[in-house]
Amino acid sequence: MSNRLSREKINFLSKRILEALTKNDRVEFLDDPNEIRLCIVKSIEEEMRLYETLDKRAIEKIQSQKKVIEEGSREWEILYRKYYNDELAKLGKLSE
């Protein structure tokens, strides 16, 4: 269920974010805009790695069940969402 972003998409997003910040009169750059864009890229990549880890943990929990649960089944999807959200909640990334 991983939603991996390609390098091109991450670069595209980082440029759009930088453009939005540039247009905001309340934002003042204290560093070179390209350095800021690279920090945005790094942040996106770190978030993607985090969510991939959560994805793996949720799948591992499903696979550790005594009962075999077929991937793609309704039960699998429900458990996946539950376990994924549990992992998000542990990180404080899910507001209930």
Q: Is residue 2 part of a domain?
A: no
Better-scored residue on pLDDT, 5 or 46: 46
Q: Are 54 and 84 in contact (CB under 8 A)?
A: yes
- Whether the pLDDT of residue 1 is over 80: the answer is no
Summarize pLDDT for 50-95 with one digit per residue, the tens: 999 999 999 999 999 999 999 999 999 999 999 999 999 988 866 5
Q: Is residue 96 part of a domain?
A: no
- Whether the pLDDT of residue 28 is over 60: the answer is yes
Q: Is residue 58 part of a domain?
A: yes
Q: How many CB atoms lie within 10 A of CB 13?
A: 14
Give the pLDDT of residue 45.
Answer: 95
Q: Is residue 1 part of a domain?
A: no
Using CA atoms, how far apart are residues 56 and 48, in angstroms rounded to an integer? 12
Greatest C-alpha distance within the chain: 57
Better-scored residue on pLDDT, 62 or 5: 62
Q: What share of the chain is helix, strand, coil (3-state, %, to 5)?
A: 70, 0, 30
Domain of 87 in residue numbering reads as: 7-91
Give the pLDDT of residue 5.
Answer: 86
Q: Is residue 71 part of a domain?
A: yes
Domain count, the chain: 1
Q: Are 88 and 55 in contact (CB under 8 A)?
A: no
Q: Are 83 and 57 in contact (CB under 8 A)?
A: yes
